[in-house]
Amino acid sequence: MRKRFLTATLCLVISVIGFSQQKAAWQHIFSQIDKEVTDHSRAYSTLKEATEKIGHRLTGSVNGAKAEAYAFKLLKSYGLQTRYQVFEAESWSRGTLTVTINGVNYKSVTLAHSPVKATISGELIDMGNGLEEDYLSNPDAAKGKIVFASLGILPGSKEGLKNLHRSEKTALAIKYGAIGVILFNSAPGGILLTGTASVTGKLINIPAVCIGNEDGMQLKEQMKAKIAVADINMTNFSGKIKARNVIGTIKGKTIPEEKIVIGGHLDSWDLATGAIDNGIGSFAVIDMARTFAALKLRPERTIEFVLFMGEEEGLLGSEAYIEKALKDGTLKKIRYMLNFDMTNNPKGYSTGTDEDSILVKSIGAIAQGIDTSFKNTLRIGLGLHSDHQPFMLQGIPTAGASGSLSREILNCYHADCDVFSWVKDDEIRNTVRFGAMLLYGLADSHDLKAKHLPDDVLKEKLLKSGLKEPLQIAGEWRWKD
């Protein structure tokens, strides 16, 4: 017993000494990262150039292909091993749309994956927040009608309601027999929001549109006094296309067979240039790659910098990445997936699991020592609807940086006002600086505690995170209760 105790104690001492030495090395490297990014970051300038010369980056469009080539050229010019990962997907783009309610034309925008052609007329049924509980009191209420509901949670709703994604609200409308869906935005000022209305990334069989907040709230009041009848006429375009994830690689120094994937979606919707969603995330990832290459950094593990396409249409690029990794047996080599989606000016980090919370906090403490504006907060939890999701659902640990955006900017999410003027040079530099530090720490750590979660443990974590309902609606809940 004494011998085992002494052995365990010795191992602990060696581990503490090893981490202390590693921490000292990281302090030097993080300082180099800080100086390189502060002095030479190109995230702001390359994103500015892309928004001016390319415009939007819709997957499957000419602009989308230009964005793929632009990102490839940048990574290649920085000295990374760079390749395309081609995948086939069902493209979608908007055509024409008119929405008339009780003879009045409404300013509106089609939600993605609505039918190629639709002409419908029907009575509106107010389904409140568009959640399942709004249907359960009268399951036949929406049958043969056009569902009218809020994209957000309405003021005055009961406490604790958890909102659903627009695609999940559309799926519920379809489930309960609706012939169409009109959702109204939560953001004021007549802002129109687009995005996919499909949980699968495939065409849905009913038209789905969005109208502005003020129009929606006014219509909601009018419907208390009289029946509203809507006419929706739309045309759209859809067909098989080939899109390309862009991947830059830095090979690990001592355990190259293990890898950290860091990604952000390069694609955007077509109403604006997608500078915030997700220009600030994807171009920060590209600049992290530039920083590693400029400093000739080679941590223990391999790093893949991935610019995903097709996120907006249903995580198409990240799903394709996972599908290929399953086929070629490389999935088990992924130790972490770091996702940067609308990440801005981070003050802390986030993880999907607490196994590496001590490590992540230690990385953050070094970053805070370099710049006290970094508060080293840590958010632990699971979420959906971005490119980390396919990795997470395979049990792969996920992480990222926790930042913030003003309410004014968030109101332009998926909207016609998501433009480059919102981007701040110092804030995107902070994303690159602190993101690169987290990336290096995880890629270089001697001992990552977080492992791939077995299915039963993953199921329990998803349940505790309240993700069963949206995953069931999307058809991605694979467990039988």
Number of domains in the chain: 2
Q: Is 374 inside a domain boundary?
A: yes
Same domain, 285 and 374: yes
Q: Could you tell me what percent of the chain has a pLDDT over 90?
A: 94
Q: Is 80 inside a domain boundary?
A: yes
CATH code, domain carrying 167 = 3.50.30.30
Q: Is 134 inside a domain boundary?
A: yes
Q: Which residues contact 206 (CB under 8 A, 6 or more apart)?
A: 114, 115, 118, 120, 170, 173, 174, 178, 179, 180, 181
Residue 454 pLDDT greater than 90, yes or no: yes
Q: In this predicted structure, what is the pLDDT of residue 185?
A: 97
Q: Among residues 227, 258, 292, which one ends one of the domains?
A: 227
Q: Is 157 inside a domain boundary?
A: yes
What average pLDDT score do residues 411-435 get?
Answer: 98
How does residue 2 score in pLDDT terms, banded at 50, 70 and 90?
Answer: low
Same domain, 337 and 371: yes
Name the average pLDDT for the chain: 95
Same domain, 223 and 244: no
Task: For residue 128, give its domain range.
Answer: 103-227
Residue 12 pLDDT greater than 60, yes or no: no
Least confident of 8-17, 367-376, 392-401: 8-17
Better-predicted residue by pLDDT, 481 or 47: 47
Structure tokens at 367: 């970053």
The amino acid that residue 397 corresponds to is P
Q: Name the helix (H) or strand (E) containing 184.
A: strand 180-184
How does residue 4 score in pLDDT terms, banded at 50, 70 and 90?
Answer: low
How does residue 23 score in pLDDT terms, banded at 50, 70 and 90?
Answer: confident
SS3 111: coil
Same domain, 247 and 210: no
Residue 3 pLDDT greater than 60, yes or no: no
CATH code, domain carrying 302 = 3.40.630.10
Same domain, 335 and 370: yes
pTM of the model: 0.94
What average pLDDT score do residues 224-229 get?
Answer: 97
DSSP string, 186-238: SSSSS--B--B--SSSS--SS-EEEE-HHHHHHHHHHTTTS--EEEEEEEEEE
Tokens 């549109």 appear where? 209
Cis peptide before 278 (omega within 30 of 0): yes
Residue 17 pLDDT greater than 90, yes or no: no
Same domain, 359 and 423: yes
Q: Is 455 inside a domain boundary?
A: no
Report pLDDT digits (tens) over 469-479.
Answer: 999 999 999 99
Same domain, 248 and 216: no
Q: Among residues 173, 192, 227, which one ends one of the domains?
A: 227
What average pLDDT score do residues 376-400 get?
Answer: 98
Residue 68 pLDDT greater than 60, yes or no: yes
Report pLDDT digits (tens) over 231-288.
Answer: 999 999 999 999 999 999 999 999 999 999 999 999 999 999 999 999 999 999 999 9
Report whether 237 contacts 95 (CB < 8 A).
Answer: yes
Same domain, 214 and 77: no
Q: Is 457 inside a domain boundary?
A: no
Q: Is 15 inside a domain boundary?
A: no
Q: Is 3 inside a domain boundary?
A: no
Same domain, 255 and 399: yes
Same domain, 111 and 194: yes
Cα atoms in the Cβ-side hemisphere of radius 13 Å centred on 348: 11
Q: In this predicted structure, what is the pLDDT of residue 20?
A: 77
What average pLDDT score do residues 32-41 get?
Answer: 98
Q: Exposure string (b/e) for 168-180, b if CB count within 10 Å is 16 or more?
A: bbbbbbbebbbbb
Residue 18 pLDDT greater than 80, yes or no: no
Structure tokens at 337: 């997936």
Same domain, 222 and 275: no
Same domain, 220 and 331: no
Report pLDDT digits (tens) over 307-363.
Answer: 999 999 999 999 999 999 999 999 999 999 999 999 999 999 999 999 999 999 999
Q: In this predicted structure, what is the pLDDT of residue 91?
A: 86
Report whether 128 contacts 148 (CB < 8 A).
Answer: no
Report pLDDT digits (tens) over 169-226.
Answer: 999 999 999 999 999 999 999 999 999 999 998 999 999 999 999 999 999 999 999 9
Structure tokens at 272: 């604006």
Report whether 87 contacts 242 (CB < 8 A).
Answer: yes
Q: In this predicted structure, what is the pLDDT of residue 163?
A: 97
